[in-house]
Structures are given as structure tokens and as C-alpha cells.
Structure 1
């Protein structure tokens, strides 16, 4: 897996030396990134940000096991000198849990993960036509979780963390600027 990132990353950096490259790893022990392999891939000089995806139970701050859990991934990202973004937080709501409870669980997760060392979080998944009468991970415009997405990424609101200094990581402002540029790029590509 790492050889792929190194080959593709070298090509990308040849075209755009300032490109932010995310590994897009799920973090749960998938083929090529289970156990110690996650850190090995993360240490590539062509990976700037690593990911973890969480579809776990409500309010569990550091899900999964000792080999592939979020706590282990945070330690591995820190050792590799890379920020870790919980790139997908999905939790069921609708007929199986209230939207209010889901929002409270997600706040607990984000705050706990901030304390544990993650660099940020993204929620899964915004849909224009949520199914409130079904048990789904849908987040619609009127969902309580949308308020979380409107917070400013400056560390002042208590939810969006500033990255720890001294770990070989990019400074917080630089990281968030790169994330904003990535989002703008993705929106531009999507509209083409």
C-alpha cells in the first residue's frame, strides 16, 4: 500500500508541490493498513493527513480494539508526525434514536477525540432528503448535527481543535487553511 502512495504522491507533487495529500485510510484494520501497517503507510513523505472512519455506537470516544482502534491510530499518527482526521463520523438516528441524542453523542465524540489528539472531524452523511422515519445515518438541513458543521475551525468554539505543537505536524492555521482549500477544490470539481 505504501508503494502506491509513494508512486502516486511523487507524480502529484511533480504537478503541484503544494498539494495536500490525504491517505484516505479507514483505520479499522483493512487490508494493507491493519495493525502496524497503518503507521508504515502513514510515514510516507507523500501522505500529509491520515484518516479514521467511525460508525460506532453513540458516544464511544475511542472505538474499536487495541490493534486497530482509534486510540492506536492516534498514537501511530503522532509517531508518524501526521494529523489524524476522523473523516467520517456516522451514527444512526431517526426511528432508532432521536436527532437530539445523536447530536449530543457526536459532540461527546468530537470533544473526547480532541482531548485524545485528533485534528478534526467530518460528519457522515449530509443528504438533501433525509429519512426521519427510518433508522439511517442521514443528516438533513434541519438536523441538529448541521449546527456542528457551522462552527468555525479556529479552536475557539471548544469543538474544533488546534493541532498540538512540537510533534512535527503543520501548525493549526496552516492545516485548517489546507482543509478549506481541499473543500473548495472538491466543490469546484463536483460542479464541473
Structure 2
């Protein structure tokens, strides 16, 4: 019986060793499969890059093939004498002045518009001025003639004030001159 138990023990040990060897083999296969699973996205990415490069190369090949066919047709037409021949008669010349913008025309238009704007501002300032300057203004405002008017008293120590119209005209003239100078400097020079 001891012999029989010894034989069973040896058989069990052999089976155990075989199972351990098989488990080791399966672990090796499992690690290999896990490595393949990890590497699969990289392989797919490489495959897509190669496919994209292949499509690009095909498109370039088709374009080159079309150009070659066009060149052969053109060559055959030239050889047959049916093609148009192009020759440059004279070399291109550099322009001496710019085609656009017409700076002198812009300067003239700006000068005219500045003059109109300055005169309009002077006229509007005079029309919107609500100061009363004499008997005529009182008669225009009230609609009746004034009974009397106080004359201007001249005193040697007081300065005489001039009316505002020359000041407006001087301001307008200075504005027009500055605008004209700015336009000339900017566009003509």
C-alpha cells in the first residue's frame, strides 16, 4: 500500500509539475497577448499614416501623369505646327508713378471739402449766436422799436471789443490752411 501511495504521489507530483509548466507557458502567452493589445493602437496609427501617405502619393502620381500627357499633347501640337507660339516682344517696364491712389486729386478734394466745412461752420456759428448786439437785434426779437438806446461810452482805460465775425473768419481761415498743409504733406510729399 505504501508503494501504491508512493506511485500516486509521484503521479500527482508529475501532474503538478506539468500543470505548473503549462501555467508558466500560459502566463508567457498572456504577457505576449497583452503586449500586442498595448501595441495595437500604435500599429493602427502607423497603418493610417502609411495609408494617408499612399493616398497622397497616388494623387501626386495622377497629377504628374496628367501633366505628362498635357506636355505630350502640347509637344505633338508644336511638332505638327498647330500650336500657338508665345513670345515676349518687350520686357516689362517699371511704372514711374503709382496708378492708385491719385494723390493730387485726393488733396484737391480734401481742400475743397475742408473749405466747405469751414465756411459752413462759420455760417452756423453766426446763425446760432443768440447775443443781442444793438437796437436792431432788439427790434427783431421783440417786434417793436426800442424807446431808447444806450450809446457806447468810450473810456480811455477800457479796451474796445470787436465783433465776433472777424474772429470766426480768422479761425476758419486758419483751419483751412492747417488742413490744406496737412493734406499736401501727407499725400503729395
- The TM tier, using the shorter chain, reads under 0.3
Asked which structure has the greater RCO (Cα within 8 Å, sep 6+), the reply is 2
Higher helix content, 1 or 2 = 2
More strand by percentage: 1
Whichever of the two has the greater Rg, that structure is 2
